Amino acid sequence: MDNNICNRLPLGRSLAILAKTYYGALTKRLEHLEIERYYSILILIENHGAKCTQQFICDELKMDKVSMVRIVDYLIEKKYVKKVVNPKDRREHFIQLTKKAIEVLPAIHQAIDEVNSAALKGIAKEKQKELYSQLNSIQMNLAHLPSQKIYINYKKASKKV
Amino acid sequence: MDNNICNRLPLGRSLAILAKTYYGALTKRLEHLEIERYYSILILIENHGAKCTQQFICDELKMDKVSMVRIVDYLIEKKYVKKVVNPKDRREHFIQLTKKAIEVLPAIHQAIDEVNSAALKGIAKEKQKELYSQLNSIQMNLAHLPSQKIYINYKKASKKV
DNA sequence: ATAAATAGTTAGTATTATTAACTATTAATT
DNA sequence: AATTAATAGTTAATAATACTAACTATTTAT
């Protein structure tokens, strides 16, 4: 049997395992901050600026908006973000970083850098870039893949009708 | 802002999104089979043979054994697997494929092949191998990563003590 | 013979995802 | 201008999954 995890399992399963292992390592480094797994949200807002609506965050992180309500509530309770109604469109709420979040972000980046460089150890810098671009390309390829059910092709012999 | 998902988000988050997208595509192709996301288990057993214990499956798929109890129950209910007590060690139960599972596996493989080739479109065969080997190496690197909490390095100026 | 370890199970809890129904607001249509 | 659609966010209910602890049965180690 092949000892490469990607050959033993469906690609998506391998990716899920990687993601879980990565999250475990990262979350342990940051669990005392009480941001759970929500550092991605802080980083998203950090990158995108003061105009992140909940819907935007859901779209970027491929999460559903119902779950996002509670996550944002949690982050507000922990004082990492605040909600600001968009005066131009009062349906939208901008989720913005607080002073506390800004203070904490360097530690988050440090943890991510540590785990990233541990994860990518042994992979040359150019290869890392190539890997990132391949992963991005996979995501793009899958994002709008039409779905068609696959049916079982029973052999006539095994079907006694 | 960089438009590559891996540069916008922590690597683990990008991988989780990829995994989710992949699973979505695959599950839609197979949802009528009522194996939920458990085709990985069938494939694992297919590869490893008749001596897969629940614990082995958990170790391979990085799942916890408590959840595995219910999943195996579900797969038994749907007649995809059966439980056989290991006569050499009666604590262990081998999880084995049924005739139904064996009949269904070609359809699962076809679906995986379809989604894989869609996902990897535009990536040359040798590059695919390289990608798989990089993903495997990331998993190995992360698997036994020691964890150390990262603390916030407050500037003296911002701390009025 | 006893203690420790392992495989699996059950119960309880927490997290997350999913669906549907809802409010408030904005945009589109007649 | 009035009505209808659509959008952002919320709430409630349900289902899936993960995690912890406590438990049984069995095997291994002392």
Q: How far apart are CA A153 and CA B12, in angstroms?
A: 37
Please provide the DSSP assignment of B75-115 as one string: HHHTTSEEEEE-TTSTT-EEEEE-HHHHHHHHHHHHHHHHH
- Nearest in space to B39 (alpha carbons), one of B51, B27, B50: B27
Which residues of B spanning 12-71 put their CB closer than 7 angstroms to strand C?
A: 53-56, 65-66, 68-69
Whether CATH 3.30.450.30 fits A33-136: no
pLDDT(B144) > 90: no
The reply to whether residue B149 touches residue A32, judged by beta carbons under 8 angstroms, is yes
Residue-wise pLDDT tens digits, B61-82: 988 899 999 999 999 999 999 9
Residue A158: predicted pLDDT: 32
What secondary structure letter does DSSP report for B123?
S
Contact A15 B26 (CB under 8 A): no
User: Is B5-141 assigned to CATH 3.30.450.40?
Assistant: no
d(CA A127, CA B138): 13
Residue ranges of the domains in chain B? 5-141
Closest chain A residue by Cα to residue B3: A136
Q: Which amino acid is located at A42 in the chain?
A: L
Q: Quick one: how far is CA A134 from the chain centroid?
A: 17
- Strand D footprint nucleotides (protein C-beta < 7 Å): 7-13, 16-21, 25-28
End-to-end CA distance of chain B: 38
Report pLDDT digits (tens) over B127-142. 999 999 999 999 999 8
Contact between A95 and A48 (Cβ < 8 Å)? no
Q: Helix and strand tally (H, E) in chain B?
A: 7, 2
Model ipTM value:
0.88
**Nucleotide D11, nearest residue via CA and C1':** A66
Could you tell me how many residues make up chain A?
161
Q: Does pLDDT of B156 surpass 50?
A: no
CA distance B86 to B95: 10
In tens, the pLDDT along B15-54 reads 999 998 888 888 888 888 888 789 999 999 999 999 999 9
Tell me phi and psi for residue B45, to 5 degrees.
Answer: -65, -40
pLDDT digits 0-9 by tens, B82-140: 999 999 999 999 999 999 999 999 999 999 999 999 999 999 999 999 999 999 999 99
Task: Quote the minimal CA–CA distance from B121 to chain A in Å.
Answer: 7
**Range B46-57 burial, b when 16+ CB lie within 10 A, else e:** beeeeebbbebb
Query: Could you tell me whether strands B93-97 and B81-85 are parallel, antiparallel, or unpaired per DSSP bridges?
Result: antiparallel
For residue A152, name the pLDDT band (cuts at 50, 70, 90). Answer: low
* High-pLDDT (> 70) share of chain B, %: 89
Which tens digit of pLDDT belongs to each residue from A26-83?
888 888 888 878 999 999 999 999 999 999 999 999 888 999 999 999 999 999 999 9
